[in-house]
Amino acid sequence: MQSAVQTQPAAAAASLIEARELAKHFPGVKAVDGISFGVRPGQCFGLLGPNGAGKTTTLEMLEGIQTPTSGQILFRGQPLGAAFREAIGIQFQATALQDFQTVGESLAMFARLYRRTADRDELIRLCNLSEILDRDTRKLSGGQRQRLLLAIALVNDPQLVFLDEPTTGLDPQSRRNFWSLVETVRARGKTILLTTHYMEEAERLCDEIAIVDHGHIITQGVPRTLVREHFPPAVVRLPADAWPADEPLPDYARRGEHEIELHTGEVQVGLEHLERIGAGLTALRVETPSLEDLFLKLTGHSLRA
């Protein structure tokens, strides 16, 4: 696997929130080891990484939940202070809601925790909660529950919203509906910091991503630009057993567990090579490289590994 470590540029002075050489060490483990990046106002920034990569610990430090071992976090150019809590909203991976409460009662309870709150009626419309306001929170579907948790994260009208794997476990339709909500929230000027296990989610929502592995950022940038930097325009894929056993792989090919990939800017040249060596072409596919391909190349495993 090629080395993917890149030197990260200094975060822009206009960053709303910025991490500088952020580190978190536990006994025998460097969970986060010198991460630096900035998130600009109005941007949706994605942190991607396999389990254990350090992204959740990074997020918890930025949220003020974990104390860094070293490094610095700045919000609007200043160290985190008492006002920071009022300026952020958090949708955790899992949030326990009070039993025997309705959706409307839950919203009201969380609103009482803040001095400043968003307009209640507008928040209900934004998160599509009108028809379930009187429903017991224990009887919500997965998508309804996530819409309520997003409303709770927005209840104080925050400048910065943390979304920690907000669509994990949702069906495809509910996931896409939630994406539309996030796009609407961003269009209203909110800054979003997102972690996700879904590449399509990151490609659709994020202006910029950072891929984290072993406590380090291994690459950072605009998703499509990063893919173009690492891959040719097309990838030819075929089952591993379709490649002749006695035929060596060319330099532009990569063997995975189940597939062989030919990374080439000239699809026709690749197809002609396959015909010459007698490869099986029945299940051949020609695809445009994706963020998933980039992740596999840089980390050696899938995002959900």
Q: Where are the domains of the chain?
A: 42-57+84-208+217-227, 232-288
Check residue 255 and give its pLDDT.
86
Assigned superfamily of 42-57+84-208+217-227 = P-loop containing nucleotide triphosphate hydrolases (3.40.50.300)
pLDDT for the residue 6: 44
The pTM for the full model equals 0.81
The pLDDT of residue 218? 92
Per-residue pLDDT at 233: 80
User: Mean pLDDT of successive 10-residue segments in the chain (305 residues)?
Assistant: 41 80 94 95 93 89 95 95 92 84 95 93 95 94 93 96 92 93 94 91 94 92 90 85 89 85 81 89 86 82 53
Please give the distance of CA 216 from its chain centroid, rounded to a whole number: 16
Number of alpha helices (DSSP H) and beta strands (DSSP E) in the chain: 10, 14
Q: Cα(221)–Cα(16) distance, rounded to whole angstroms?
A: 17
CB atoms within 10 A of CB 107: 22
Instruction: Give the pLDDT score at 220.
Output: 95
Q: Which of 218, 305, 213 is nearest to 257 (CA)?
A: 305
